[in-house]
Amino acid sequence: MVKHLTLHGNSSALIIEKPILKLLHISQKTPLEVTTDGRNLIISPVKSSKREGLMSIALAKVNHRHGKTLQSLAE
């Protein structure tokens, strides 16, 4: 997808379409971190402790239910 910047006051803005926002679970209130690797612009949702906690719980459930199978597959 090719995008162009939009003039917004004295700045430029990048418009992110609704389907992409929904896919990434981002709303207008989601804090975003903007970084660069020197060549690319990287926009990521700020990691929240609540979100990381939910991920840890989900990972623990998967490991509890399927740990042996995943270990066998890894070998």
Has this prediction a pTM greater than 0.85? no
Residue 6 is predicted with a pLDDT of 96
Residue 46 is predicted with a pLDDT of 84
For 44, 48, 51, 57, the CA distances from 54, given in Å and listed in that order, are: 18, 10, 5, 5
What is the CATH classification number for the domain harbouring 21?
2.10.260
CB of 34 closer than 8 Å to CB of 11: no
Residue 1 is predicted with a pLDDT of 85
Which amino acid, residue 22? K
Q: How many domains does the structure of the chain reveal?
A: 1
Which one has a higher pLDDT value, 16 or 1?
A: 16
Domain assignment present for 1: no
By CB atoms closer than 10 A (0-12, 13-18, 19+), residue 45 is: middle
Q: What is the pLDDT of residues 17-59, one digit of tens each?
A: 999 999 988 998 888 999 999 999 999 888 777 777 788 888 9
Range of the structural domain that residue 27 is part of: 6-74
